[in-house]
Each structure stands twice: as C-alpha cells, then as structure tokens.
Amino acid sequence: MSTDTIDPSELPRVVPGAEYVGQREAIGRPHAVVDGPLLPGTVLCLSHWPGTNSPTAALADTSAEIVDRYLALEPAGQEIEMVTNNHFDEDGLFGIWLLLEQPPPGPLRQLAVEAAAAGDFFTWSDPAAAKCAIATMAMADRSTTPFPQIKRALASPSAGDPTDTIYRALLPRVPSLLADPERYSFLWSEEWLVVESDIALLDSGEATLTEVPELDLAVVRAPRFLHEMAVYPRTDCTRVLTATAEGGRVLRYRYETWVNYVSRELAPRVDLAPLLAELGERESRAGGWRFEGVDPITPRLYFSNETGAVAPSGIEVDELVEVLRPRLERLR
C-alpha cells in the first residue's frame, strides 16, 4: 500500500479467532507480524521496525499504535489466522493483544497504545501507562515473574528461545492488567518508586535538564543516573547527555531514532567514533572513551574503566558539549 488512501477490500484482515504463533511456526505460512521484521510468509506487517512495509495509512510511532490505526481502517481483504513476533517487549505484547482481541475504541485500547509508548520510548502522561509497561517487563523477567512457565523458560539457555512461552503466558493477562494496573503493584511498585524519586530530583532542582536545541541535545546534570521515565517525558531531544556528580558521562541516542518514527522529523544519528581520539587527549583519568556505533537500538558514547563499565571522567560537561558541537551541529 503506497498511498494514504487504502481500499479496505485489499487490506489483509486478521480474522476473529486468529492466534499468536511462534516465529518458527509462522515462517512460510500466511501470517501477520507485529513489531518485528518481515519473514517468509508475511502477508501483513504492522511494525515500526526499519525495512518493514506497514500500510501507509496506519503508520505511527509504535507498533501498537499502527495496529490501532489498522483496525480503524476496517480491513476486508485476505484473511489471516496467525500473528507472530520475533522478540518480547511491551510494544509487541500490547500490539499483538490489540490485533487478536480487536477491542472497540475506548479506555483499554487507548491505554494499551500508551503503555506501548511508555515501554518503548519511556514517554508517558498517564502513570497507569508507565506502570503497565513496568509490570509487563517484570512479568517476563526470571527474578520477578510470578508465572512458573516463564521462570522455567528463562531458567537455562538450553531451554531455547523463551519468546513464544512468554507471549502465550501473558497475552491472556493483558485485559486484567489494563483494567486494574493497581492489582499488579507488586510488579511495578519498586521501580515506580525510583521513577518518582528521580522526578522529585528534577522538580526540586537537585537535578537539572537543559536543552541545546541546535544540537538536538538534552543535558541532564544529576547526583546519579536517572530513570528514563523521569527524564524522557520532559524533552523531545533525541540525544541525551547525562552527567553525574561523581563524573559519569553518558550520551545516548534514544530509541525513537532507530525505528520508523513518523509523528515528527528527527535528527539523524551521527557517528561519534571520530571524536574518541580528541576525547582521549583531553581526558585526565584512567580509562577510555567508547562509542557503540549508530546501529544498536540505543547506543552510547561514554567513558569507561578497563572492564567496560561507565567510570568517572575528568572532562567537564560544558567542555564535552563543545567537543560534540561541531559534529552534531554539522550533521544534524
């Protein structure tokens, strides 16, 4: 579909009663992909991943919102009975649930879309969306999941890819999570306390966020590294430099710059590897500057110790910004 005008009779339709299936089972058979790459046999792709071909009229920033817009198109084309994905995360879970259950427009459907964005981009306005996102990943973590089948699937690498098991366990629980996030507070409360604490630091001025618009750069100065859910809703900048009181220095490209983001134009990722030599010359502490490249989902430029962990740098924040400036400004 290459135009914004779509004939619903030509748009493949995921039928009532369609099922989630694992990637291996889907390959080579007609299926829909949500929040993942195209596979052999993919008839319909509803994904914000690069290189995918979601219907133009349904394009959105998250895969869950793409599904939401796809459902509004009332497709009536080739029938599809299988839905799959190649990994587990919040956007995948809520997007697949929306596609399989096809709930009517309303609060649950909207919360599913907002929870997907909170999970992928750490942006939210409704705390319920953030809490649903946190709870979702806690359900899929070996140390916090309350579900024995997920714990077993995550117990050993020899158990194979746990994605299928996790989706099958959690898809039936999405309605109760969306309807009553407080019921799942045992899964999100600990992390949410961190988010609230970090919000309080920013609100009080103990931590600050300043923007350098011409560099699409937000500079966070804080006593410690802050939770993204406290920082990202406060800035549209897609390059976030965090400087901690002890000397931590981490510049991160946000996930929005990896996906097909359509609601606004974003500055491109810039290769910062050419700056490593200059940063090394300016550095006064033992260790080394590293850049993870432009291809990872959320790559970092940071100063590290010999183990590769973030370590205190001797470069002041303003000096670091000036080193970054010519490269970020020229290639914005």
Residue-wise pLDDT tens digits, 65-90: 999 999 999 999 999 999 999 999 99
Query: Which helix (H) or strand (E) segment is 304 a member of?
Result: strand 300-304
pLDDT over 90 percentage in the chain: 94
Cβ-proximal residues to 255 (8 Å cutoff; 6+ apart), any chain: 120, 121, 297, 298
* pLDDT band of 255, cuts 50, 70, 90: very high
* pLDDT band of 166, cuts 50, 70, 90: very high
**DSSP letter (8 states) at residue 313:** -
What average pLDDT does range 235-262 have in this prediction?
Answer: 98
Q: How many CB atoms lie within 10 A of CB 290?
A: 16
CA-closest candidate to residue 311, choices 282, 291, 276, 286: 286
pLDDT exceeds 60 at position 94? yes
- Please give the pLDDT value at position 187: 98
pTM: 0.95
User: Do the Cβ atoms of 3 and 73 come closer than 8 Å?
Assistant: no
Please name the amino acid found at residue 54.
Answer: S
What average pLDDT does range 205-210 have in this prediction?
Answer: 98
CA-closest candidate to residue 154, choices 171, 168, 169, 140: 140
Mean pLDDT, the chain, rounded, equals: 95
- Please give the pLDDT value at position 158: 73
pLDDT exceeds 70 at position 332? no
User: Do the Cβ atoms of 53 and 45 come closer than 8 Å?
Assistant: yes
- Please give the pLDDT value at position 5: 67
